[in-house]
């Protein structure tokens, strides 16, 4: 008996590091990249922040000597959100909201960190979650003017 063939890796879902523009997105839509180093998260923690019912959003404009011109985004949930299953679910929802909202409402050259809230991030309706993110971005960018 021969073993079954392995699935084709090019078919299927994109990796979490590939937060690119949604299907049929505008040509000016810049792909998102993911913050991974502690240093980037700490820099964002010292910058502006805006709370919403479902998340906390931290945003900072990168300096000219930092690499990258696109939008960078990071996601985090503390143990207050729940066990690993609950934290992963909340982060998946934050990633999808970022994928939908940031290419249109975010600004190139900025770093964003989305922090999940206990009970709210996982249970809030998805349209409201996206609305919260868009509202937070409007507030953050209007405060910088």
**Per-residue pLDDT reduced to its tens digit, 14-65:** 554 555 555 544 444 557 889 989 999 999 999 999 999 999 999 999 888 7
Number of compact structural domains in the chain: 1
Residue 67 lies in a domain: yes
Residue 27 lies in a domain: no
**Per-residue pLDDT reduced to its tens digit, 111-124:** 999 999 998 998 99
Residue 70 lies in a domain: yes
Residue 40 lies in a domain: yes
Buried b (16+ CB within 10 A) or exposed e, 80-90: ebbeeebbebb
Residue 61 lies in a domain: yes
Three-state DSSP state, 116: strand
The verdict on pTM exceeding 0.75 is yes
Residue 139's CATH number: 3.30.230.10
Q: Which domain range does residue 69 map to?
A: 32-143
Residue 24 lies in a domain: no
């Amino acid at each position: 008996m021969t073993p079954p063939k392995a699935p084709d890796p090019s078919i299927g879902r994109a990796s979490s590091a590939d937060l690119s523009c949604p299907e049929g997105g505008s040509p000016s839509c810049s792909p998102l990249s993911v913050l991974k180093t502690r240093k980037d998260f700490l820099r964002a923690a010292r910058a502006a922040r805006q709370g919403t019912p479902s998340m906390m959003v931290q945003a900072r404009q990168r300096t000219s000597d930092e690499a990258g011109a696109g939008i960078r985004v990071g996601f985090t949930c503390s143990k207050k959100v729940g066990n690993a299953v609950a934290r992963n679910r909340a982060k998946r929802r934050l990633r999808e909201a970022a994928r939908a909202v940031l290419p249109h409402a975010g600004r190139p050259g900025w770093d964003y960190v989305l922090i999940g809230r206990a009970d709210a991030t996982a249970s809030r309706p998805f349209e409201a979650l996206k609305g919260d993110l868009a509202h937070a971005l409007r507030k953050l960018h209007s405060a910088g003017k």
